[in-house]
Amino acid sequence: MKSLLIDTSTSNVIVSVLDNLNVLNEYNEYINSDIASKIMKIIDECLTNSNLKIQDIDRIYVVNGPGSFTGIRIGVTIGKVIGWSLNKKIIPISSLELMSTTDTNKQYIIPMIDARRGNVFGAIYDTNLNCLKNDLLINIDELLNDKDSNYELVSYDKLRDDVVKPKINVSKLIEKHMNDNGINPHNLNPNYLKLTEAEENRLKSD
Amino acid sequence: MKDVYILGIESSCDETSVSIVKNGNEEIATIVLSQMDTHANYGGVVPEIASRMHVENITIVIEECLKKANMTMDDITAIAVTYGPGLIGCLLIGVQAAVTLSYIYNKPLVPVHHIAGHIYANNLVSKMSFPLIALVVSGGHTDLIYMEDDYSFKKIGGTLDDAVGECYDKVARVIDVPYPGGPLVDKLSYEGEDTYPLPLPLDDNSYNFSFSGIKSAVINLVHNEKQKGNKIRKSDMACSFQNRVVEILTKKTMRALKEYNVKNLIIAGGVSANSGIRNKFTELCIKNDVNLTVPNIKYCTDNAAMIATAGYFAYKKGIRAGYDLKATATTSLF
């Protein structure tokens, strides 16, 4: 069972090629700008380094948010086209859940992505990737209110001093989702967790 | 010679479109998914909403187009895509989809400039004859282009500020005509008379245009009339405005044809659907023995048929992009 995972939801781009739970090749790096024009070469390199072609892939995992709107659209568009072309279903993955694969000796993980103005995209997972608080857009103080030392705060962004950088473990994620049915590629869509400003203003004025 | 089938993808603004064109002149199938009704709620295109709708629909539109053409990706020779100019978030979706298709099916990727697409919409009407002058009029462009041959573009003039379509939409807003204002101003102009004293914009010896002056003149006139408690005669304003725009566009274009000794004129872009512009050019071209081509109304607005058509000529010229093709919000054709 060959799998491909694509995450362009943050500047920390992840592309992983696996055979069952065994990572064959992985790209996991910070990209400062212009992910769009770099991502296809990264995917190609990961496949080539794994001695595979895109047509060999059985399962496609695509991080569809939350995160950078443009970023998740890039990953989702690629995922949709690959899935449609190869006639494969897509398994949508939360960026926050992927961050929660970070190894810790604490009981819970709070993954966070900076959403500006004091807000984060955040959630709470346990170390077995069970979701205790769904992905949401929330004020950081509200999310972290009463959270004691049982919680590991994980983020690529320097939101606070006690935040640790994610250490992604794709095998752990795939293990959790290897039996997911997945969805029709046409129905794979970004999970923005936020309306556009224009829509919000329109709702307010109604 | 083997037939060339180009799959074109266009997503530069508020239309998600995919088309298959054979040999650069025969449209096999085109799907255009317009978001206009959504954006009408906001009085104009909202870029983030447009990007969101493109990503939702892109694979559905690709699939529909192939179905309509009764073809598969294996029948396609190359993939052409609009890489710019346009709304960056929107362009990205089409480019990313095209790059991914090109990668999976191992097909050449051909980058197409949006304006080249508008110009080549005319090749679906009749084979373009060279040399020619192209007048590109749209919401983002007002350019006079000289083409010696296929896929060679030399700009001889362009707008120094607002594009003509942009100016139409602003004037529409000022005189309370709903979005999209351009076509409605055109329609209204036939119900009115040329009574308002508006200036002829940038009436000089260059081939450049400037529409900010006439826009300000309309705004000031409307403001003054309102202060006096007078009602604006919308149709008269539309007529006066349109007459001035048509006059300067035709005047400079006809002069360019004469000076470059060219007998072929094509008009392209969204505003080429404007009946005032079409009628006046038709009249002048008959009088001056110029061969005029205007695109079918359905190809005036953004569509992928024009991208696939231009893509054919770019493909023939050996223009290719790699997987690192960049979508660009502002990019020059010249």
- In this predicted model, what pLDDT tens digit does every residue of A96-138 receive, in sequence order? 999 999 999 999 999 999 999 999 999 999 999 999 999 999 9
**Does residue A204 sit within a domain?**
no
Q: Is residue B330 predicted with pLDDT exceeding 90?
A: no
Nearest chain B residue to A201, by CA = B42
**Does residue A201 sit within a domain?**
no
State pLDDT tens for residues A47-63: 999 999 999 999 999 99
Select the CATH number that applies to the domain covering B5-120+299-316 from these four: 3.90.79.10, 3.40.50.720, 3.30.420.40, 3.40.50.1580. 3.30.420.40
Nearest chain B residue to A83, by CA = B59
Q: Do B95 and A189 touch (CB under 8 A)?
A: no
| Domain count across chain A | 2
List beta partners, residue B137.
B142
CATH of the domain at A29: 3.30.420.40
pLDDT of residue A205: 85
pLDDT of residue B256: 97
Q: Do B49 and A199 touch (CB under 8 A)?
A: yes
The yes/no answer to whether this complex scores an ipTM above 0.95 is: yes
Same domain, A89 and A178: yes
Top-level CATH class of B127-294?
A: alpha beta
**Does residue A202 sit within a domain?**
no
Q: Is residue B44 predicted with pLDDT exceeding 90?
A: no
CATH of the domain at A133: 3.30.420.200
A105 in reach of chain B (CB within 8 A)? no
Q: Do A81 and B89 touch (CB under 8 A)?
A: no
**Does residue A206 sit within a domain?**
no
- Which of A73, A82, A87, A201 to mutate to test binding with chain B, by most B CBs within 10 Å of its CB? A73
**Does residue A76 sit within a domain?**
yes
Q: What are phi and psi of B292, to 5 degrees?
A: -105, 135
pLDDT of residue A72: 98
Predicted confidence band at B1 (pLDDT cuts at 50, 70, 90)? confident
Pseudo-torsion of CA B149, B155, B159, B162, nearest 10°?
70
Domain that holds residue A75: 2-94+169-195
pTM score of the predicted model: 0.94
pLDDT, mean of residues B290-314: 95
CA–CA gap between residue B304 and residue B8 (Å, rounded): 5
pLDDT of residue B180: 78
pLDDT, mean of residues B153-165: 95
Cβ contacts (< 8 Å) between B42 and chain A: which residues? Answer: 198, 202
Taking the CA of residue A33 and the nearest CA in chain B, the distance in Å comes to 12
Same domain, A160 and A175: no
**Does residue A203 sit within a domain?**
no
State pLDDT tens for residues B70-126: 999 999 999 999 999 999 999 999 999 999 999 999 999 999 999 999 999 999 999
pLDDT of residue B163: 94
Q: What are phi and psi of B332, to 5 degrees?
A: -95, 145
Q: Do B48 and A44 touch (CB under 8 A)?
A: no
Nearest chain A residue to B58, by CA = A77
Same domain, A10 and A77: yes
Domains B5-120+299-316 and B127-294 share a fold: yes
Q: Is residue A206 predicted with pLDDT exceeding 90?
A: no
Same domain, A105 and A72: no
Same domain, A121 and A83: no
DSSP A67-78: S-HHHHHHHHHH
Q: Tell me which residues of chain A, numbers 164 to 193, contact chain B at a CB-CB cutoff of 8 Å.
A: 185-186, 189-190, 192
**Does residue A10 sit within a domain?**
yes
